[in-house]
């Protein structure tokens, strides 16, 4: 298929918004809270008019491609029509064309990319993940930063993604599945309970803390409506509690990356100062700095940060608050964000703890299920999957080898869902298909755009050859899901609950 044909296919596949233009002039002029305006005027001084003018503009819109599924060149060839320019602080990030609705295209459904505010891409990049590490995304929904962290791990190590709200944990799990992540466990727990379960366990922890959301005012009416000075103070207290739990789970020598989407110094520099006062074993890291970013401001901490006894010059010399980073919408492509990298002094010890006391079904049935899985894997794969096969009822998961046991934890996704025991046979899971590529299986078939759209609608695929067994169906090289071939027809096994493109 030529590049021109691919571009035409993408253009034809775009779904138009029937409700009309969504960003009217009124929507672009949000009613900002007066107390917020007064504080920002005091903080920004001569820059305040430019900051205020940014609210007359459309919010930033971006996407990140999925490095677990394709290299940059392949991605740009498939999705180039959507892309405007690269985001300098995010290796896989682009600003993109909102009006072409990339979130409604087959490639999005296939997990080729994640729609995300460009500023939000900064945190997972700054934490410096290395393949093979154990990573915790503590406040992870809906999954933007989790999917980015997974790309940095390159399929190795362990990623634990946690979300305290059950409904949001389910959305997080769905995005993990769509992105084809093999080594991620999704939990639905309080940070304090996780701290009891994973003491001194993770090499890096990302805390994208719940906050007052000031940085999202341009795109989120609810954030503006719910804002108050009292809410800012409440968020700051909650953020400190979360950081205390994160500290208990971080190994010596590890990094804790604290991020918010607010401008409030009380939730940003103020929280960091208060945490450092309690924990002298931490120091602020120097994070990668890009044009348009702003360094942390110790004077804002003194004036607005809830630490009135902060002596700017004296304490900044000790704590280096200027090493924090801020992203403002009037300075760069993106909404508001704040970052602080906290290094825990000490040497990482070599202990690797694995407890295989997972919940299991009765022994006889588990043995039968594992035998069926092994037969399926031998017939289907060109590689040996890495992990521990574990049964939950009649479901089979591949748990990352470095994961601790699940005892007393609320588990939303126990790793890679392999399939289920169904009427004395093994049926592979949709999540397994999404984690594979054509090179990983003995039977695959590349679909045209028309066939891919029909597949997402639940229709069978007709072929001009005799084929039998489970087949991985792909589009532009991206895995879409399973089909089961019988002669010249491939029966559709795309999950009914996901059949939304039509």
Active-site residue list? 261
Tell me how crowded residue 40 is: count the other CB atoms within 10 A of its CB: 19
Backbone angles phi, psi at 282, to 5 degrees: -105, 155
Report d(CA 422, CA 415) in Å as an integer: 20
Q: How many CB atoms lie within 10 A of CB 25?
A: 8
- From residue 362, give the alpha-carbon distance in Å to each of 347, 366, 426: 43, 6, 17
Q: What are phi and psi of 463, to 5 degrees?
A: -130, 165
- Helix, strand, coil shares, percent, the chain, to 5: 40, 25, 40
Report the residue count for the chain. 502
The DSSP annotation for 25-54 comes to TTTTS----HHHHHHHHHHHGGGHHHHHHG
What single-letter DSSP state applies at residue 381?
B
Are 249 and 190 in contact, with CB atoms under 8 Å apart?
A: no
Q: How far is CA 99 from the centre of its chain?
A: 24
In angstroms, the Cα distances linking 138 to 16, 51, 442 are 36, 31, 38
What's the N-to-C CA distance of the chain in angstroms? 24
Contact of 445 with 474, CB cutoff 8 Å: yes
């Amino acid at each position: 298929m030529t590049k021109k044909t691919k571009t035409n296919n993408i253009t034809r596949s775009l779904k138009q918004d029937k409700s009309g233009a969504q960003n009217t002039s009124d929507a672009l002029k949000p009613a900002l809270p007066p107390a917020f305006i007064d504080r920002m005027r005091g903080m920004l001084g001569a820059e305040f008019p430019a900051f205020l003018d940014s609210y007359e503009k459309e919010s930033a819109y971006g996407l990140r491609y999925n490095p677990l599924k394709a290299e940059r060149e392949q991605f740009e060839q498939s999705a180039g029509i959507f892309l405007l320019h690269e985001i300098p602080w995010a290796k896989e990030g682009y600003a993109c064309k909102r009006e072409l609705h990339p979130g409604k295209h087959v490639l999005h459904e296939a997990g080729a990319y994640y729609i995300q505010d460009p500023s939000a891409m900064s945190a997972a990049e700054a934490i410096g993940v290395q393949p093979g590490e154990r990573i915790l995304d503590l406040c992870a929904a809906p999954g933007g930063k989790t999917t980015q962290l997974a790309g940095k791990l390159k399929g190795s190590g362990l990623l634990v993604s946690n979300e305290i709200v059950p409904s949001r944990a389910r959305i997080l799990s769905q995005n993990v599945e769509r992105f084809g992540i093999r080594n991620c466990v999704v939990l639905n727990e309080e940070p304090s309970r996780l701290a009891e379960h994973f003491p001194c366990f993770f090499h890096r922890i990302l805390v994208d803390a719940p906050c007052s959301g000031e940085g999202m005012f341009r795109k989120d009416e609810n954030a503006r409506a719910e804002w108050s000075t009292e809410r800012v103070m409440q968020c700051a207290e909650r953020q400190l509690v979360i950081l205390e739990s994160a500290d208990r789970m971080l190994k010596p020598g590890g990094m804790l990356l604290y991020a918010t989407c607010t401008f409030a110094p009380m939730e940003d520099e103020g929280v960091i100062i208060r945490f450092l006062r309690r924990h002298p074993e931490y120091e602020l890291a120097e994070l990668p700095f890009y044009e348009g970013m702003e360094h942390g401001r110790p004077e804002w901490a003194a004036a607005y940060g809830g630490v009135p006894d902060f002596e700017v010059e004296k304490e900044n010399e000790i704590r280096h608050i200027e090493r924090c980073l801020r992203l403002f919408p009037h300075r760069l492509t993106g909404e508001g964000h704040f970052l602080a990298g906290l290094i825990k002094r000490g040497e990482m010890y070599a202990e690797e703890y694995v407890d295989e006391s997972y919940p299991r079904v009765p022994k006889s049935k588990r043995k039968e299920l594992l035998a069926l899985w092994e037969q399926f894997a031998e017939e289907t794969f060109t590689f040996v999957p890495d992990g521990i096969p574990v049964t939950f009822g009649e479901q089979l998961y591949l748990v990352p080898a470095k994961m601790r046991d699940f005892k007393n934890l609320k588990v939303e996704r126990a790793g890679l869902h392999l399939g289920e025991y169904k009427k004395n046979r093994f049926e592979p899971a949709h999540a397994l298909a999404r984690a594979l590529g054509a090179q990983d299986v003995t039977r695959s078939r590349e679909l045209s755009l028309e066939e891919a759209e029909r597949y997402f609608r639940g229709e069978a695929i007709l072929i001009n050859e005799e084929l039998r067994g489970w087949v991985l169906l792909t589009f532009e090289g991206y895995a879409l899901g399973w089909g089961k071939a019988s002669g010249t027809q491939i029966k559709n096994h795309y999950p009914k609950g996901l059949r939304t493109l039509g």
